[in-house]
Amino acid sequence: MCLCVHVFNVFLFWEFGLYPLVILNALSSVVYVIFLTLFKNENLRISFAYFEIILFSAATELISGGHFGTLNFVIGMMAVIFFMLPYSNRKKHVYQLIGAVSAVAISLISVYGYSLYPELVGTALQHKAFVKSMNLVITLFSLFYLSNLYLVELRTTREKLDYNSNHDMLTGLYNRRFFEGIMKRSKEEKETSFSVAMLDVDDFKKINDTYGHETGDRVLAAVSKCVEASLPQDAVAVRWGGEEFVLYLPQVDEAQALDILNNFRAKLSEQAVYYRGTRVTITVTIGLCTGESIADYQEYIRQADEKLYWGKKHGKNQIVK
């Protein structure tokens, strides 16, 4: 945007006959093109634009006799540098101080009407209203854009924080803390049948030891993918910890739950996770419990866990109901 303003000013001031400002804006345009081509770091670009605008504003006022209102640019950029540089960048406070001192110095040029080209002051006064209004509009537009950008980033950051606090990062499933929170809030709901399943990846430690933790992570991701593809829309899948998962199936009786879990196991058998050309076999053992009272959900999970433990001791790769 700064580059576009400089290019526009080249033609504008050429039309007004203010040739020192034509040269100033042309030089600024060339410097911007070179800098943007050579440097890709966003924070460095923001810092460069900040100091270029301060110098440009001071030079413009020195040429125009302080009549073109580029002080607005400096004040606007003080807000830009605060919001757009990272919080960890402590230099931005120094930058703001430099901007404040520069703003005072530029305002003094306007107060005393000092100009490096006194012969151009008359021309500057002729176009003062237009240029000053244009510079104010540019500054207001920049601040409006910045404030909306900040709000969008703030909302995006809040959404990411909410997601990260409620989900497991590896699998994308809900985490245990979130699940227990929604179950506690649901205790007063009308009691209805539901099923709880606890599943555990068979021989997961052996998979990690044999193929490495990266392969183990891909196995967990594959299990999670199958879980999400198999469950009803209102079901909740949770990574309980390690290689254990809890599935909450509201308004699902035992027979329906068995159908859902068998469908899940069928999908899981089709999953292909390879390590150096060797297919890693993925099976799970599942403990299933059906309940009537959400208030006792922890007891049903405990029972499902006991059934899971029994299944692990008696052959694995099965559903224990």
Active site residues: 243
Question: Rounded to the nearest 5 degrees, what angle is found at the Cα of 92, between the Cα atoms of 99 and 138?
Answer: 50
- Residue 35 is encoded by which pair of tokens? 């800098």
Q: Tell me the three state secondary structure of residue 63.
A: helix
Q: Alpha-carbon torsion 81, 87, 92, 93, what sign?
A: positive
Amino acid residing at 158 = R
> 236-241 and 194-201 as β-strands: parallel, antiparallel, unpaired?
unpaired
Cβ pair 146, 79 in contact under 8 A:
yes
174 phi/psi in degrees, rounded to 5: -65, 150
Closest CA to 121 of 10, 17, 22, 23: 17
- Residue 113 is encoded by which pair of tokens? 């009407």
Segment holding 132, helix H or strand E: helix 128-166
Residue 237 burial (CB count, 10 A):
24
